[in-house]
Chain A
Amino acid sequence: MLPRHRVIGLGIMLLLLLVAPPFLSSFLLTLLTQALIYGILAMSLDLILGYTGLASLGHAAYLGLGAYSVGVLTTRHGANFWVTLAVGLLLAAVVAAVFGLVALRATGVYFLMITLALGMVIWGLAHRWVSMTQGDIGISGVPRPDLGLPWSLAKGIPFYYFSLAGFLLALWVLWVVVRSPFGQSLVGIRESESRMRTLGYHVWLHKYIGFIIAGTVGGFSGVLWGYYNGFVSPADVELATSVEILLMVALGGRATLLGPALGAGVIVLLKNLVSVYTHRWLLILGAVYIGTIVYAPEGIVGAVRQFAKGVKPEPLRSKA
């Protein structure tokens, strides 16, 4: 079980997320909703980046697959939420399965390059397969889902709770995965692939399954994203988005699940809220990144953990 102080900390955070909405301005509420959806995406990337040690630069592809499933199916076929959800998850899983076959032949920077290329394939499709995706114009007019609830999800607060439920579900799934023996084996692979192989683990298969799970959960965030924005365009699957997700994970703290979600929150707020006050917001974002790399190489959560343990965080120094 988790230590008590952490349970209390998490409980307070959850409580805040639950009771905050009515007290927030609608703008802050939309940002919080965005943060939750991006949080899911960042957590899913954490499974392969943090736990398995594979840095992917193509994770926005899954966001796009989920979002395009919603866009195409709702506007063209009037599909309901469950259909789009099923198709979105399945599509993301299948694509992850195919991409995994290609990408997992490599590790390190080569893995990075291959995932980048594969991500660009999805971007290229979104851009060029005009009859399906409407190209760079994007698909607009996606209605909010109707789940037969007494609250219309077209409104900000119900949709926030809807996203929160999705977030908690994704968190639970990923938490179960990383706590399972399978998740532990992923950590083992990250630490020493050869040792795991010697111990008789089918290293490739473990990585492959982890990759597919990450892609599927990423697709889930895409489904929510499509409904949230009511709009999908190639901008959602750009390289810039993939980089942003990577930074969310690094900022929050790798292999901590909640850390990346926190990182997502920080970046979404910086990007949208700070830019309201100054057009120099990129400068601030840059300073935050550099500050994190230098003073908290393990991310926000890592720094907090070290602080709680009484260890002074070690600033990054070049090895002399």
Chain B
Amino acid sequence: MGKKMLVWIAGAFVLVAGVGPAAAWAQKGPIKIGFLAPMTGGAAQVGKDMVNGLTMYLDEVGHQIAGRKVEVIVEDTQGKPDVALTKLRKLVESDKVHVLAGGLFAHVGYALAPRVDEYKVPMLYPVMAADDLTQRKPSKWVVRNGWTSSQPSHPFGEWVYKTLGYKKVVVIAMDYAFGWEIVGGFQKSFEEAGGQVIQKLWPPLGTADFAPYLAQIRRDADAVFALMVAASALRFPKQYQDAGLKARLPLIGGGVTMDEFVLPSLGDEAIGTITPLIYSAALDTPVNKRFVKEYRAKFGKVPSYYSETCYTTGRWINEAAKAIGGNVEDNEKFLAALRKVEIPDSPRGPIKLDAYGNPVQNIYIRKVEKKDGELWNTVIHTFPAVSQFWKYKPEEFLKQPVYSRDYPPCKYC
């Protein structure tokens, strides 16, 4: 008996022992969606928003897509790449899911992408925004229906210079790739328009006390651009106000600094902050109003962009499955259909993918205002159909390195 034979026999055992219930063999069983999100650990609450979004959509369609039942298997990534990889294996190899979705942190996105390509199971990235996932290191099987970090920053930078008239801006941002990309996009278009970033401060992730950084902020600036996430986003605005800066230097920033996930926990110190993002719960369209109303009724809170993108992910899968007559077993066709999806009326507005696989969508400039005792991101300007490259030519844009702590360089510091 040759070695090959042995491998075959071993392989046969795996098939028999590994697949489990016979239902997995059935051709027309339910459509299985594998969903990865942090359900425990520091980001568990965001994970919950994500799952809520998807659940809400599937409830609306009665858990039926293209005439087939839908089964969602949620796996906890614990916010860690190695756990996410393990759970990915479980979802694909044991559960035999037809399509994957989810993920929160950029490093999880980079860790998953090569494996997803190996498995040839399409995966939607509704939240993970790292630029290069659809720029310099695209993956065939990853369909990003969320956004790139620098996408809202590009139009925002020029807008800040032209509309708000700020000439000199100090940047204070979390020191990791997501922060660099948001700041990079802003700096590029802001400085091209004529503005100057005169100082960049990079507090590390998880910074609790911003006093040492706030003390350094140059007072000859016109405004401060902040990018905060998670616990830092909760603490920063208050400390910024307490340091007496709010009255002197208006606060602008990246969208997640003031997203709907943090707003309920903030007080009046947040009012007036202007940030761009792909979504605002205060968006005044019938689709979004209904979405917000029903989401609140169901889950007792305002949907964040995490909820919206995952809600739209459900719709995305539905549209693609319908286009191929529910035959999601044909993974190549399914992938092609997923790339072709166009949604003209999602809560966040019209969406379709560009040639590089990132959504072209509206960017909303939002200002925090108080209405009926609650904080809302009122939309004060809309940039329609913005691509990840905005007004730049993709080929030329891709020649520059990915945004980092040192790129674009701080010429005016």
Q: Which residues of A pack against B, CB within 8 Å? A: 21-27, 30-31, 34, 127-128, 130, 135-138, 140-141, 150-151, 156-157, 229-231, 233, 235-236, 271-272, 275-276, 279, 281-282
User: Chain A residue with minimal CB distance to B130?
Assistant: A137
| Cβ–Cβ contact A276 & B90, under 8 A | yes
Residues in A neighbouring B111, C-beta threshold 8 A: 138, 140, 229, 231, 233
Q: Is B114 interfacial (CB 8 A cutoff)? A: yes
Please, could you name 9 A-B residue pairs with CB atoms under 8 Å apart, sorted by A? A26-B89, A27-B94, A128-B175, A130-B404, A135-B176, A136-B106, A138-B111, A157-B10, A275-B78
User: Chain A residue with minimal CB distance to B20?
Assistant: A25
In the docked arrangement, what's the CA distance between A271 and B76, Å?
A: 10
Tell me which of B11-19, B218-226, B282-290, B368-376 binds A.
B11-19
- Given A27-B94, A157-B14, A275-B40, verify A151-B7 contact (CB < 8 Å): yes
A241 to chain B, nearest CB (A): 9
Where chain B touches its partner, the secondary structure class is helix
A176 to chain B, nearest CB (A): 30
In the docked arrangement, what's the CA distance between A151 and B2, Å?
A: 13
Q: Is B86 interfacial (CB 8 A cutoff)? A: yes
| Cβ–Cβ contact B40 & A235, under 8 A | no
4 additional A-B pairs beyond A136-B176, A141-B114, A279-B40, beta carbons within 8 Å, are A30-B90, A135-B177, A230-B85, A235-B80
Q: Which of B13, B40, B114, B177 contacts A282 (CB 8 A)?
A: B40
In the docked arrangement, what's the CA distance between A281 and B14, Å?
A: 28
Residues in A neighbouring B40, C-beta threshold 8 A: 275, 279, 281-282
Q: Is B405 interfacial (CB 8 A cutoff)? A: yes
- Given A26-B93, A27-B93, A233-B107, verify A140-B7 contact (CB < 8 Å): no
Residues in A neighbouring B106, C-beta threshold 8 A: 136-137
- Given A22-B13, A130-B404, A229-B82, verify A272-B114 contact (CB < 8 Å): no
A275 to chain B, nearest CB (A): 5
User: Chain A residue with minimal CB distance to B89?
Assistant: A30
Residues in A neighbouring B87, C-beta threshold 8 A: 272, 276
Residues in A neighbouring B20, C-beta threshold 8 A: 25
| Cβ–Cβ contact B18 & A25, under 8 A | yes
Total interface residues on B, using CB and 8 Å? 42
| Cβ–Cβ contact B82 & A236, under 8 A | yes
A55 to chain B, nearest CB (A): 24
| Cβ–Cβ contact B3 & A150, under 8 A | yes
Residues in B neighbouring A24, C-beta threshold 8 A: 17-18
Q: Is B70 interfacial (CB 8 A cutoff)? A: no
Q: Which of B83, B176, B204, B405 contacts A272 (CB 8 A)?
A: B83
| Cβ–Cβ contact B17 & A23, under 8 A | yes
B253 to chain A, nearest CB (A): 20
Residues in A neighbouring B4, C-beta threshold 8 A: 150
In the docked arrangement, what's the CA distance between A139 and B76, Å?
A: 22
- Given A22-B13, A233-B111, verify A271-B83 contact (CB < 8 Å): yes
| Cβ–Cβ contact B82 & A22, under 8 A | no
Residues in B neighbouring A27, C-beta threshold 8 A: 89-90, 93-94
| Cβ–Cβ contact B86 & A30, under 8 A | yes
Q: Is B110 interfacial (CB 8 A cutoff)? A: yes
A60 to chain B, nearest CB (A): 12
| Cβ–Cβ contact B17 & A136, under 8 A | no
Residues in A neighbouring B81, C-beta threshold 8 A: 138, 229, 231, 233, 235
A158 to chain B, nearest CB (A): 9
| Cβ–Cβ contact A25 & B107, under 8 A | no
In the docked arrangement, what's the CA distance between A216 and B111, Å?
A: 26
Q: Which of A31, A127, A136, A140 contacts B86 (CB 8 A)?
A: A31
A123 to chain B, nearest CB (A): 11
B117 to chain A, nearest CB (A): 9
Residues in B neighbouring A276, C-beta threshold 8 A: 75, 87, 90
User: Chain A residue with minimal CB distance to B105?
Assistant: A136
Residues in B neighbouring A30, C-beta threshold 8 A: 86, 89-90, 93
In the docked arrangement, what's the CA distance between A233 and B204, Å?
A: 16
Q: Is B121 interfacial (CB 8 A cutoff)? A: no
Interface centre among B80, B89, B94, B107 (most CB of A within 10 A): B107
- Given A27-B93, A30-B89, A231-B82, verify A22-B176 contact (CB < 8 Å): no
Q: Is B39 interfacial (CB 8 A cutoff)? A: yes
Residues in B neighbouring A25, C-beta threshold 8 A: 17-20, 93-94
Q: Is B113 interfacial (CB 8 A cutoff)? A: yes
Residues in B neighbouring A275, C-beta threshold 8 A: 39-40, 75-76, 78, 83
Residues in B neighbouring A34, C-beta threshold 8 A: 86
Q: Is B115 interfacial (CB 8 A cutoff)? A: yes
